[in-house]
Structure 1
């Protein structure tokens, strides 16, 4: 299977980077093709310009980087996002990727009857979100309201009509033991080595 990973973390020493390495290793062990879109390293601009918005409305693309990302997404069997949760939501580059890359004409179209959306990425069978945060899961869920689930799972991918959506959340990353962090990495590598 062709796996496209959309990665967003600027710091090489982050736990997100360790997760990226573990996921990539697992996928390679499972004989999957890995295509990494590294938003920070690519210098991806998350801001929607006036030209971008005009192109968005016309189902067109003006930014060569966005065009490249879209061509790669067309070949994806599975899409994986890896990013930290900052201030209870995704970083700017991940949000910009959703705004600028997952556009109508590529990721979805409006239903001919005028209500709802239909998915257009025909190869895309499933989407996995992998996130890190320093809040306890119960606090994020009850006090904050599970914003990642609401925004990325329900508002973005479910609305577009995609199915098989999973969210893997690593909580309290800074305060758990090194043994726990290593255990998580081993588990996620094994999980993706068996992915089918």
Structure 2
């Protein structure tokens, strides 16, 4: 099984980095072929060019890094995204990755008979691991959990993922070492479930 794991956090040593490393290690240890990307460390450019703004077919990727990401994502069996909740959104580097890599003609097509988008990715499973400093009750009552909507309604089903799981670790700033250890264990457990057929 081939799994893409994507980290979006600019600070080395962050808890997001620890989650990313734990997931990559767990999946690799269970025999998965892991394609791992620390988007900030790699300097992924999140800015769309004018040629990438078509809604029916994406322009050919002249950027070598972008072309590699598009080719890779087309061959994945599962996706994992690790990122903090910033202003109810993923960090800009990951938002840009979604807009540039999960492009029309690569990850979905709009020209279907019923007018609905058709996902083109074979990755039917996706796991999103978020960190947050907002308590769960406040997130739900005041903000409506926008990250849930982004990943579980707006992005992943659109490109073909039908099994979307999301886990939020909160609140990170005041968490203890014991809590973080337990969260890393849970991240590993969640990652392992991607490798089961059910």
Query: When the two structures are superposed, what TM-score results if normalisation uses the length of structure 2?
Result: 0.91
Q: 1:42 corresponds to which residue?
A: 42
Superposition CA RMSD, Å:
1.9
Q: Distance in 1 between matches of 2:80 and 2:42?
A: 17
The answer on 1:115 being equivalent to 2:89 is no
Kindly provide the CA deviation profile for residues 74-130 of structure 1, in whole angstroms up to 9, marking residues without a partner as x.
1111010111111221100110011111001110011422511111113x1211111
- For residue 31 of structure 1, report the CA deviation from its aligned partner: 1.0
Mapping 1:1-196, distance limit 5 Å: 1-53=1-53, 57-122=57-122, 124-193=123-192, 195-196=195-196
TM-score, structure 1 as length reference: 0.91
- Tell me: CA distance 1:161–1:190, structure 2 relative to 1, closer, same or farther (3 Å): closer
What secondary structure is seen at the aligned counterpart in 1 of 2:174?
coil
Long gaps (5+) in structure 1? none
Runs of 4+ in 1 over 4 A off after TM superposition: 54-59
1:87, 1:72 → 2: CA distance? 29
- Aligned pair in 2 of structure 1 residues 54, 115: CA closer, same or farther (>3 Å)? closer
- CA shift, 1:62, in A, is 2.6
The count of residues paired between Structure 1 and Structure 2 equals 195
CA distance in 1, matches of 2:173, 2:56: 39
Q: Following the alignment from structure 1 to structure 2, what is the Cα–Cα distance between the partners of residues 171 and 84?
A: 10
Q: Which runs of 5+ in 2 are unaligned?
A: none
Return the structure number with greater relative CO, CA threshold 8 A, min gap 6.
Answer: 1
User: Which deviations, in whole Å up to 9, do the C-alpha atoms of 1:162-192 show, x marking residues without a partner?
Assistant: 3001111111011121111111112322443
